[in-house]
Amino acid sequence: MKLSVLVGICAIALFIMVGMASADPRYHIYGVYAVTGLDTCEPTPGMMEGNFTFMHNGSGSMSGFIRRFPNEILPFPVLSINADFDYTVDKEGRIKFDYSKGGGLEVVAVYDQSMTPINVPIMTLNAGPSHGVISPDHKMISISCGPPALLSIIGAPPEAPPMLCITSLVGMRIR
């Protein structure tokens, strides 16, 4: 009888250890990170600030603003951006983003050149920043497009050229 109790305890301990190993918090991010940095998408660069929200299940969202110099192609000084994404994190803390399930990155013109609020959707891009790194203590984050990224406008005619973007953001956990 003592042997069956010992075997039962060992089996329970094994299941607990396997469960704890599969829920390793190093491979997940949870919380809201405030980020700021450069967005150099054509036709003019801008400063981006926003929040990335990460859930334990590998999904997340981002929202923020890009402030830029308006021009003839995009005459809006402030754009809002929003996207849902899935993410993975490897054991070194490298993050990869996937925007395919969320429908892309929505870009909305917040103000016109006279700084009058307009809130007009202007495009949806097929992706956003694609790479990142989280610090071992999960307090700091760096997010970028990696190498220059070619982003396509969803719903644009096939002859529409893609946008060339380089985004570099850094941030910290705020909650």
Mean pLDDT (the chain, rounded): 84
Count of all residues that appear for the chain in the document: 175
Pairwise CA distance, residues 49 & 106, whole Å: 15
* Residue pair 125/103 in contact by the 8 Å Cβ criterion: no
pLDDT for residue 42: 73
Cα 159–chain centre separation: 28
Residue 129 has pLDDT above 70, yes or no: yes
Percent of the chain topping pLDDT 90: 51
Distances (CA, A) of 116 to 75, 112, 120: 12, 6, 12
Q: Domains of the chain by range and CATH?
A: 26-173 (2.40.160)
Give the global pTM: 0.81
Cα angle 49, 55, 56 (rounded to 5 degrees) comes to: 145
What pLDDT sits at residue 13?
A: 47
DSSP-assigned beta bridge partners for residue 131: 96, 144
- Rounded mean pLDDT of 119-146? 91
93-108 confidence digits (pLDDT tens): 999 999 988 888 999 9
Could you tell me if 173 and 141 are in contact, meaning their C-beta atoms sit under 8 angstroms apart?
yes
Residues 157-166 have a mean pLDDT of 82
What is the model's pLDDT at position 64? 96
Share of the chain above pLDDT 70, in %: 84
When pLDDT is averaged across residues 27-49 and rounded to a whole number, the result is 89
Q: What's the rounded Cα separation, in Å, for the pair 118 and 73?
A: 17
Contacts of 62 (CB under 8 A, 6+ apart): 50, 51, 52, 53, 81, 82, 83, 85, 128, 129
| Residue 18 predicted with pLDDT over 60 | no
